[in-house]
Structure 1
Amino acid sequence: MQNITIKFDKLNHMGQDLLLISFPYDYDTKEYLKEFNGVRWSKELKSFYTLFSKTTTNALFQYLRKRKYYVDYEALKNSYNQKSSTSRIVRKKIGISKKPNQNVLKKIHSFKKWMRQRRYSENTINTYESMLLMFFGFHHTKGLQEIVKTDLENFNTNYILANGYSFTYQNQAINALKLFYKHQGRDITIADSLERPKKQSKLPEVLSIDEVKNFLSSISNLKHRTLLSILYACGLRIGECLNIKTKNLNLERGFTHIKSGKGRKDRYVPIPNQMCILLNKYIDAYKPVDYLFEGANGGKYSPVSARQILKRSLSTVGIKKSITLHTLRHSHATHLLESGTDIRYIQELLGHNSPKTTMIYTHVSSTSLDRIKNPFDDFTI
């Protein structure tokens, strides 16, 4: 499976932009690809495809990387740059279409095994592996011992920054390289030469209570509505939600046991009465066996599918804000604060280590802002 390369390309067909997905025939690959929401087979095009968008393309890329497929998006990149250059000047971006050499791949595989032994989360392991594959794919002509400080600076400038990747992405790349070099027993001053970007002080986007009500009530599919509702009702991270097992629920007492949340911290989270009613209805209808939310073929539900559900639901009610699944958690915390809940209690519910993390919601709470008396109100002009 690791030797299969999947190619991305873009085609405008009957007025719609399609993402074409091609690969040498393999049954397991075909079945895995079909599980991704929105992917279809076209007899006319003789290719798998889905509607093209940057969000879908990135989600599909991450979905395939989970199974260690190599994705060749050179044709897609060329198509995009060619189209863009006709209307505006585009800064040339450097892509990665090569694999690291076999010796480096073995080192990365050994590093993964070490992280598992140290009980790093699967999300961290997969993220770090992806970062290392990109870095050493970028420098595919060099072996591990040949990498020098200027190679890291080149990767940072001509790949991370050139492609406009986020502060978080850049930070993850630095973390992956530092830990990898530490594991190799090499002097980590090479990785330390990568300066961390200046952290942005962005306030979280939140929905109003009416917006949450409207878009949740617009979801006709019971499973989808239950999934998005519990994210808001209990203020959960998507990973925490999808890790809930039926045995972790106690609907009679109205709580769920969140095991190994962020930072491997367990906590008990109360479930409101209306959410318990919805969960009972969902469980009666779908009868989940192990995980509360399971995929079509069993096992844990995919976060990619959850993001697509959210996107469709927001589109249905016409909400155009930049909303993610985590926005539901932000909204939950903000609405608790506005209803008078003590900030320390909110910190415990959300599983924050530091009250400083929770205090950010005081900056977006309309109740807190309304309490501020502006001296201009006493002016008579």
Structure 2
Amino acid sequence: MNLKKHITLKHLFIEQKKCIGLQFQSDKVISSLLKEIPDSKWSEDFGMYYLPNTKSHLNNIFSAYRGVAWVNCKYFFDKSNSKQLDDPIDTQWMVKRKLQNDFRTCPNEYLLKLELKKYSNNTVKSYVTCFEHFINQYKGIPLENLNETDIRDYLKTLIQEEKSNSYINQSINSIKFYYEVVLGMPNRFYAIERPKKEKKLPIILSKDETRKLIESTNNIKHKCIVGLLYSAGLRRSELLNLKIFDIDSSRMLIHVRGAKGNKDRFSLLSKTILEDLRIYFKEWRPKEYLFESINNGKYSENSVSKIVKNASIKAKLKKRVTPHTLRHSFATHLLESGVDLRYIQELLGHTSSKTTEIYTHITHKGWEKIKSPLDKLDV
């Protein structure tokens, strides 16, 4: 095979039909072989040849160029690294919202695909909100007719509105999800430029601030919720999914089931929390989930956030504290106590060690031995 010759397959949408685009540098051999493939045509708009997107046409491409050129399928076939949760999609927020008469809502197939992919409720809400904002910028244009230029113009609008890099990236993800996952054209918009991710360090509570936060909760149930978020480094969704039998007091472990990526793991069960949980259990008598609503259903995410926020106000903490702040604090405090980063990665359920390494930039361990150069000056 001549590796100097190569063709890159692209997803195209031409005249309301899915097509296979063939992108390559000008080459007489590749061009002549392409003309022999049935149904091949030239697109002036995309500046490349294309074929109908069918299995037979795809096979014809591989057959025609076998031993002649390398067919690059990197941008054609799907490779999903999505982080998924096993929670049912909650669409009540969509039903309750008030919309203008001409508001363009998210297509049903978009929601269905999110549900089939088992995306978390937070991701679903973000994707739907961002995608609806996008499609309402082009109300008179069918979604299938929108192209890279339209998307880039929309992103320029977001930049002019001074949206954060995180929001712009989330918007790109939501748009790509429709065209690449819902319509089945992986990597169609792979060339859309993304803003650089903002490398902001997470907010961390000191051990004293954490103690004040826990002590400022209103009752034993709230104390257990805040205490578990911190002592086990749980995500909010993981806390709400805990069932009574997930607390293993014999091994002093908490079984976290179906976390991101549908992965199970174990985390630490604090002796202090275990004592509080026993008091809580006798008083509240949960039936299935460890923390339940008045109707014996799963406790809501908003309720957990309010508990943490109210406790932080009562504790007079000046930092913005969320449930995830406690997870960050858990990891940082372990690292400062000398726990190996690999164990912290396992406890947090991080797939990549790079995600856990952010805490090495936060910890102040060893800094007390470093003196500011100003202290050595005779000022």
Secondary structure of residue in 1 paired with 2:178: helix
**Alignment of 1:68 onto 2:66:** no
1:208-260 deviations in whole A, cap 9, x for unaligned? 11111112112122211111110001111111111111122222332111111
When normalised by structure 1's length, the TM-score is 0.68
Distance (whole Å) between structure 2 residues aligned to residue 137 and residue 70 of structure 1: 16
Evaluate the alpha carbon distance shift between residue 185 and residue 316 of structure 1 in structure 2; reply closer, same or farther with a 3 A threshold.
Answer: closer
**Aligned residue number for residue 165 of structure 2:** 167
Percent identical among aligned pairs is: 35
* Displacement after TM superposition at 1:278 (Å): 0.9
Q: Count the aligned residue pairs.
A: 289
Q: Give the secondary structure class of the aligned counterpart of 1:256.
A: strand
Corresponding position of 1:355: 353
Shift of 1:149: 3.0
How far apart are the structure 1 equivalents of 2:333 and 2:182?
Answer: 47
Q: Distance in 2 between matches of 1:147 and 1:186?
A: 16
As a proportion of its length, which structure holds more helix? 1
Q: Kindly tell me: are residues 270 and 188 of structure 1, through their superposed partners in 2, closer, same or farther at Cα, counting changes over 3 Å? A: closer
Deviations 1:111-161 (A, max 9, x none): 322333344344433432332222212322222133233432333233x33
When structure 1 is superposed on structure 2, of 338-347 and 177-186 the one drifting more is 177-186
Cα distance in structure 2, aligned partners of 1:161 and 1:69: 30
Q: Letter of the aligned partner of 2:348 in structure 1?
A: L
Taking only aligned residues, the RMSD between alpha carbons, in angstroms, comes to 2.7
Query: Given that residues 224 and 276 in structure 2 are in contact (C-alpha distance below 8 angstroms), is that contact kept between their aligned partners in structure 1?
Result: yes
1:251 aligned partner, one-letter code: S
CA apart distance, 1:310:
1.6
Is it true that 1:183 corresponds to 2:181 in the alignment? yes
Change (3 A) 1:97 1:242: farther
Q: What TM-score, normalized to structure 2?
A: 0.69
Determine the C-alpha separation between the residues in 1 that align with 2:182 and 2:155.
21
Counterpart secondary structure, 1:315:
helix
Structure 2 counterpart of 1:99:
103
**Distance (Å, rounded) in 2 between the aligned partners of 1:332 and 1:304:** 21
Residues 164 and 304 of structure 1: is their aligned pair in 2 closer, same or farther, counting only changes over 3 Å?
A: farther
Letter aligned with residue 334 of structure 1 = T
Residue 263 of structure 1 is matched in structure 2 by 261
Q: Which amino acid aligns with 1:111?
A: Y
Distance 1:333 1:141, change over 3 A: same
Q: Does 1:233 align with 2:231?
A: yes
Q: Which residue of 1 aligns with 2:136?
A: 137
Distance 2:355 2:198 in 1: 14
Aligned residue for 1:71, secondary structure, equals coil
CA distance in 1, matches of 2:125, 2:167: 13
Query: CA separation in 2, counterparts of 1:339 and 1:213?
Result: 17
Offset of 1:374 from its aligned partner?
Answer: 5.4
CA–CA distance in structure 2, aligned partners of residues 207 and 98 of structure 1: 46
Matches within 5 A, 1:74-153: 98-100=102-104, 105=106, 108-153=107-152
Seen in structure 2, the aligned counterparts of structure 1 residues 184 and 215 have a Cα distance that, compared at 3 Å, is closer
CA–CA distance in structure 2, aligned partners of residues 295 and 142 of structure 1: 44
Q: Distance in 1 between matches of 2:130 and 2:303?
A: 23
Shift of 1:207: 0.7
**Aligned mates of 2:124, 2:231 — CA distance in 1:** 30
Residues 130, 279 of structure 1: alpha-carbon distance in 2 compared, 3 angstrom cutoff: same
Larger Rg belongs to: 2
Deviation at 1:378, TM superposition (A): 10
On the 8 A contact 1:255/1:270 being kept in 2, the answer is yes
Cα distance, 1:335 vs. partner?
0.9
Aligned residue for 1:334, secondary structure, equals helix
Q: 1:212 to 1:184 in 2, by over 3 A?
A: closer
